[in-house]
Amino acid sequence: MSTFEIGQEHFLLDGREHQIISGAMHYFRIHPDQWAQRIATAKAMGLNTIETYVAWNFHAPRRGKFRLDGQRDLARYLSLIQEAGMHAIVRPGPYICAEWDNGGIPAWLLADPEVLMRRDEPRYLAAVQEYLDALLPVVAPLQVDRGGPVLMVQVENEYGAYGEDKVYLRKLADMLREGGITVPLFTCDQADDQMLTRGGLPELHKTATFGSRSLERLQVLRRHQPSGPLMCMEYWNGWFDAWGEDHHVTDPDGTGQDLRELLESGASVNLYMVHGGTNFGFTNGANDKGRYRPTITSYDYDAPMAEDGAPTAKYDAVQDVIRTHRGLPAEPVARRAAAPSLHVAAPATTVALWSLVDRHLNWQEHEEAPTHEQIGALSGFSCYRTQVDLPEGALLTIGEARDRVQVFCNREPVGVLDRAEGGRALALPAGDTTTLELVVEDQGRVNYGPRIGEPKGVIGPVLLDGEVLRGWRAAALPVDEWAASMTSGQEGAPARRTAGLPGPSLSLWRLDGLAAADLFLDTSGLGKGQAWFNGWNLGRYWGKGPQETLYVPAPLVRQDHNALVVLELTGGRDAAARFVAGPRWSTTTAD
């Protein structure tokens, strides 16, 4: 058993001054078989602590179902941190931001329009209580005062950037205490006077977030935290990327120099991120500050440890600073080995998306176009269908696409309405009775700002030449299930050799004779879609970049009988499955 307290000037571990030197690393962005290796690499950098968010929606994909298995086994992750001789900081939200879908708040909660998020509202707080009732029995026994690694637990997250409901914050703190959390509670906000005032409570320890000018930002924090240790809870040593923009990189030496000043000031720090990992599946978030910008699949973040865990030049710079500061000798760390380069000329099986739509959907009927929440499409894709007469063509107009709508007339592509481009209207060709179908992609829920919690799908009204279009059928597309069926050989017919991939379609490649090593799927010859490797949803790809590879963790790779499934939405110029030696970016920019 140990004690951890907030002293007048320092954190106190077992009564002795303790400087936290931590790194953020999210278990839900890493294959669980790689947790121990990633923790070991972080420790070799010189860190003494690992910080992690807890993503509520990752553990509770449906209300009343709370999962703690496999990649969701938080207790195992925290125990591995302890086994490595390190401590942990846990940030359970309920809102986490993190460039994660909806900031971690479950989409099923949004189906009730009366719910008011992140404030003292009974429906929301009831759901939060259910979450903490399931989560805290995992965290509480692993607190440092019970022999575990957990030093501190956060209340909410950067709340001052969103609201100032002090009653809400106190109720969250009470829930944590009543749920058995006895270690110190804290808040974090950007190093901004207004945000620190709005987001904190006098009885909770305040920390700040920033990525440069550390000494100046610590002075801002000290104005709001007159006594007690100073801590940067998120030292932004890199940044995230959005589709169609450059991959962000920052100067390793500049990061090291600023970090040195921060550590020499005596402040504690948590590197955000030490290792970012991957937004597998449909877990990426988005930002919307006037324009919708979905986050890419890779959460590389230009962190010291790259998406695949490999140490980078930034790792070397930061390691030197931290180990020198702590008086530790240098510790060499293995570099990335080139991944196998593979080429499978053509898919073994291809099936048109429409074939699956016609045979496998549970349609719902709605007079007007429903939202995704109304049809239970909490992530991924949906299809909307109606019949229209177009003797002279017509103008299709929607209130808003959330987030990308592919429009088809009698299964022929007409065009795309993309939220990021502001597309809301499209001319439909002339025809007699026409089946109008919309394939809609939720590209990631906004994770920061006032648009958190907005509905997805086709946002009405939907108009045809100015008249409301009625009589819709709509359904979620269970693409994970379809990919699993492709993998097991239950779907599809032998593919015809073509120069590229048709869209929309699902294709299967078989790969044998592999070693258990990380792989990097080259997506530069594809259009837009989703990929699975041996049933694991690798995430989204998009030809607009900057990401040109999808990371395949080594634990997924078998010697034989490997299956790659790709959902191609628009058509790709290359029918081959190609794997390359390492991650690739189409464009980069230095911040």
Q: Which residue has tokens 């869209």?
A: 503
- Neighbour tally for 467: CB within 10 Å: 10
The pairs formed by 321-325 with CB atoms below 8 angstroms and a separation of 24 or more are 321/256, 321/259, 321/260, 321/263, 322/21, 322/45, 322/46, 322/47, 322/259, 322/263, 323/45, 323/46, 325/21, 325/46, 325/260, 325/263, 325/264
**Among 51, 99, 234, 548, the one annotated catalytic:** 234
466-to-62, 367, 395, 414, 462 alpha-carbon distances in Å: 38, 17, 8, 19, 9
How far apart are the C-alpha atoms of 544 and 467, rounded to whole Å? 35
Strand ranges across the sheet with 425-428:
425-428, 394-402, 457-464, 467-468
Beta strand residue intervals within 261-363, DSSP E:
268-275, 286-288, 292-294, 342-344, 349-352
E strand or H helix at 385: strand 380-390
How far apart are the C-alpha atoms of 499 and 198, rounded to whole Å? 58
User: Is 234 in the active site?
Assistant: yes
Can you count the helices (H) and strands (E) in the chain? 12, 35
Q: What are phi and psi of 112, to 5 degrees?
A: -95, 105
How far apart are the C-alpha atoms of 162 and 118, rounded to whole Å? 8
User: Which residue type is seen at 524?
Assistant: S
User: Is 9 in the active site?
Assistant: no
* Burial class, 104, CB count within 10 angstroms (exposed 0-12 / middle 13-18 / buried 19+): buried
How many degrees, rounded to 5, is the angle at CA 360 between CA 351 and CA 507? 20
How far apart are the C-alpha atoms of 183 and 151, rounded to whole Å? 6
How far apart are the C-alpha atoms of 328 and 122, rounded to whole Å? 51
Q: What is the dihedral of CA 83, 86, 87, 90, to 10 degrees?
A: -80
E strand or H helix at 475: strand 472-477
How far apart are the C-alpha atoms of 162 and 449, rounded to whole Å? 6
**Among 99, 156, 158, 548, the one annotated catalytic:** 158
- Encode 262-291 in three state secondary structure: HHHCCCEEEEEEEECCECCCCCECEEECCC
Token digits of residue 564: 């790659």
Question: So which residues are the catalytic ones?
Answer: 158, 234
